Amino acid sequence: KAGVTQTPRYLIKTRGQQVTLSCSPISGHRSVSWYQQTPGQGLQFLFEYFSETQRNKGNFPGRFSGRQFSNSRSEMNVSTLELGDSALYLCASSLNRGQGDGYTFGSGTRLTVV
Amino acid sequence: AQSVSQHNHHVILSEAASLELGCNYSYGGTVNLFWYVQYPGQHLQLLLKYFSGDPLVKGIKGFEAEFIKSKFSFNLRKPSVQWSDTAEYFCAVNNNAGNMLTFGGGTRLMVKP
């Protein structure tokens, strides 16, 4: 079965712009989580969506938002980009929420803010 | 809040050496524990996971980990490493309340041929 697909793979944006990243989970997976990976902060949880509702949110400013569609695909949006938003953004999907389900990660979108 | 510590940031081993990477977490309740590997230029892949039952968990590629509840630890081991094990290894934890993974800072392993 196809894995977790993230688009685009690479993105270069200018400070102040906004960006939308997309994640298509494994078919049948209903939970989608987003993570930011940077050399300095490591892997940090952004948010999780299940059944089109945000279930958990990490400690990120309101410029970071997301949504999930009825087919479980998810998008995350970052507005008013800052240089510090440069990172690898990872999406992970799981069948359901909670114990017993593994998380499968996508290859990520590498965002560079200049 | 839960946190995860990986004490070894960089490890260099020769092929055939034994590996043990430390992972400690802080959370008082029931947790699920994971080890992920990230090969150069590739995405995170699950090595193994612990939810309940036998505290010695076997994963892919000859890796295993032991959950020691009294020590809040979940150390990763491999008896004999190969050059292809060169990668970054991440320990992660989540509690039963949610679907959020908390990751450790990662350990970069370099295996010299």
- Looking at residue B42, the DSSP 8-state letter turns out to be S
Q: Which of A44, A99, A105 sits opposite B51 (nearest CB)?
A: A99
For chain A, 114 residues long, give each residue's pLDDT as a single digit of tens. 569 999 999 999 999 999 999 999 999 999 999 999 999 899 999 999 999 999 989 999 999 999 999 999 999 999 999 999 999 999 999 988 765 567 899 999 999 999
Does B101 contact A106 at a Cβ distance shorter than 8 Å? no
CA B31, distance to chain mean position in Å, is: 14
* pLDDT at residue number A71: 95
* pLDDT at residue number A82: 98
pLDDT digits (tens, 9 = 90+) for B11-63: 999 999 999 999 999 987 788 899 999 999 888 999 999 988 999 999 999 99
Which conformational region is residue A70 in: left (phi greater than 0), alpha (psi within -120 to 50 degrees), or beta? alpha
* pLDDT at residue number B56: 97
* pLDDT at residue number A35: 97
Does B99 contact A105 at a Cβ distance shorter than 8 Å? no
Does B98 contact A107 at a Cβ distance shorter than 8 Å? no
Q: Compute the nearest-CA separation of B40 from chain A (Å).
A: 12
What is the three-class DSSP state of B104? coil
Closest CA to B66 of B91, B41, B85, B37: B91
Q: Which of B6, B44, B52, B108 to mutate to probe the A interface, most A CBs <10 Å?
A: B44
What is the C-alpha to C-alpha distance for residues A4 and A23, in angstroms, rounded to an integer? Answer: 7
* pLDDT at residue number B1: 73
